[in-house]
Amino acid sequence: MRVGLTAMLTGAAMLLASATAAPDRLSIERERLRAAKAEATQAAARAADLERRAAAERGAVAKAQAEEAAVGARIDRAEATVAAARARVAIIEGLLEQQRATLGERQKPVAKLIAALSSLARRPVAAVIVQPGSVTDLVHVRAVLGSTLPVIRRETAGLREELAQSRRLRAAAALAAAGLEESRRALIAERQALAAVRARHASAAVQLNRDALVQSDRAIALGEEARDIIDRVTAIGETEAKLGELAQLPGPPRSIVPPELRTPAYRLAVGGRLVTGYGEVSENGVRSRGLTFAVGERAIVRAPAAGQVILSRPFRGYGTIVIIDHGNGWNSLITGIGEATVKRGAQVGAGDTIGRAPTGGEPMVTVELRRQGRPVDMTGLIG
């Protein structure tokens, strides 16, 4: 009982000693709250702007996709036209071959006639006259030749004109195919350019989405920080009120609290390596509301301050937990205990053994100090 009274009086003395620093601390926390709210608002605005820009980029991507589809259709049409032109050229070449063959067949009689006339022209006139029947044959040949040559000229002229027309058609078809091929290459280049634009827009949209997520996460984190600052401001206000009450109390008689018995208002429950501090954010985004220590196997866990044990039992994922009520709305929560040595309802003093750490691996023990159910930073109270 004397130890508990000593702890309470010592805690009151510590609170009185910090009374002069409380207003400055409150001002600092209020300024931090204002800055955190302003930064959270700015982060939310940046996130909204980035989301709008990402939506605009997605619209540009859709437009680029539609344009690419239209270009692809034009390319398909151009390819079909090129194929038709090539087929036309092939047909014209076949017709030319047929015309050459027909012309050759039709020119054979003319060639024979020309050969006979050439042979007749090379014979001397005297020999023709002396030969029996030659004059009659000559007259007959001249008559036949006179009536045949105009027909031959007309037919050969028609064939030559048809052949020339076929050649012109072939040249025109080749030019058309070349032009269509050039158009096809241009359309392919256009599609490649559109594909590059689409990739660029898609990349920009992805980056903007990532930036928006980052800014959104930052806004959430700043909102949590603002809430924590509000909690600290509230706790500071309660501390100031408590200081006002304690300031009216008389100081403890020196005989009641001798110097050799004075103890800190709050002490560490375990000795070990500090792993997580108050207010730190873990990898999964959870903010720490106490202190977590890595301790040795079977390490002793002690009561951080005097009070009554109101809970002592295993709890899923937290090992055995012990909650100590210190009075006036203050309580301590200790988790990660392997084996508790106190039961519910037990009265403990500051520093009393309440359990031991578990065995195996690297045991972790977490200590939280709460006031009216809200977590409080205990570092200022630890002696």
pLDDT at 16: 41
- How does residue 183 score in pLDDT terms, banded at 50, 70 and 90? confident
Instruction: Based on the fold, state whether residues 291 and 185 are members of the same structural domain.
Output: no
Residue 141, domain CATH: 1.10.287
257 and 273 part of one domain = no
Q: Would the pLDDT of 377 be above 80? A: yes
List, in sequence order, the alpha helices (H) in 123-133.
Answer: 125-130
Amino acid 11: pLDDT: 47
Q: Looking at residue 237, what is its pLDDT?
A: 67
- Domain final residue pick, 216, 239, 263: 263
* Most confident residue range from 211-215, 219-223, 318-322: 318-322
HSE-CB at 171 with a 13 A cutoff on CA atoms is 6
Structural domain boundaries, residue 100 = 1-263
Q: What is the mean pLDDT of residues 249-271?
A: 60
Say whether both 378 and 246 belong to one domain.
no
| Residue pair 312/343 in contact by the 8 Å Cβ criterion | yes
Amino acid at 373: G
**Cβ neighbourhood burial of 216 (10 Å; 0-12, 13-18, 19+):** middle
Q: What is the pLDDT of residues 92-121, one digit of tens each?
A: 677 667 766 776 676 666 666 666 666 655
pLDDT in the model for residue 337: 95
The mean pLDDT of 171-188, rounded to a whole number, is: 76
Question: Which of 263, 291, 317 is the endpoint of a domain?
Answer: 263
42-81 tens-digit pLDDT: 877 887 888 788 777 667 667 767 777 777 777 777 677 7
Task: Tell me the whole-structure pTM to 2 decimals.
Answer: 0.35
Q: What CATH code is carried by the domain that includes residue 281?
A: 2.70.70.10
Note the pLDDT tens digit of each residue in 124-152: 655 555 555 555 666 666 666 667 667 66
Residue 310 shares a structural domain with residue 252: no
Pair (240, 252) in one structural domain: yes
Same domain, 82 and 39: yes
Give the Cβ contact number of residue 169 at 10 Å.
16
Residues whose CB is less than 8 angstroms from the CB of residue 18 and which lie 6 or more positions away in sequence, other chains included: 239, 243, 380
Q: Which has more pLDDT, 158 or 334?
A: 334
Last residue of a domain, one of 213, 231, 263: 263
SS3 310: strand
What secondary structure does DSSP assign to 193-261, as a single string? HHHHHHHHHHHHHHHHHHHHHHHHHHHHHHHHHHHHHHHHHHHHHHHHHHHHHHHTSPPPPTTTS-GGG
| Contact present, 349 and 336 (Cβ < 8 Å) | no
Q: What is the mean pLDDT of the chain?
A: 74
**Residue-level pLDDT at 241:** 65
Q: 182 and 34, same structural domain? A: yes
Q: Which of 335, 293, 295, 339 is nearest to 316 (CA)?
A: 335
Phi/psi of residue 272, nearest 5 degrees: 180, -165
11 vs 305 pLDDT, higher one? 305
Residues 226 and 87 occupy one common structural domain: yes
The H-or-E segment that residue 6 falls in is helix 2-17
Has residue 331 got a pLDDT over 90?
Answer: yes
pLDDT (0 to 100) of residue 373: 87
Residue 340, pLDDT above cutoff 80: yes
Tell me: do 117 and 219 sit in the same domain: yes
Same domain, 68 and 189: yes
Same domain, 237 and 314: no
Question: CA–CA separation, 162 vs 25, rounded Å?
Answer: 107
**Count of domains observed in the chain:** 2
pLDDT band at 281 (very low <50, low <70, confident <90, very high): confident
Exposed (0-12), middle (13-18) or buried (19+): which is 112, by Cβ within 10 Å? exposed
State whether 249 and 348 are in the same domain.
no
The rounded distance, in Å, linking the Cα atoms of 168 and 59 is 51
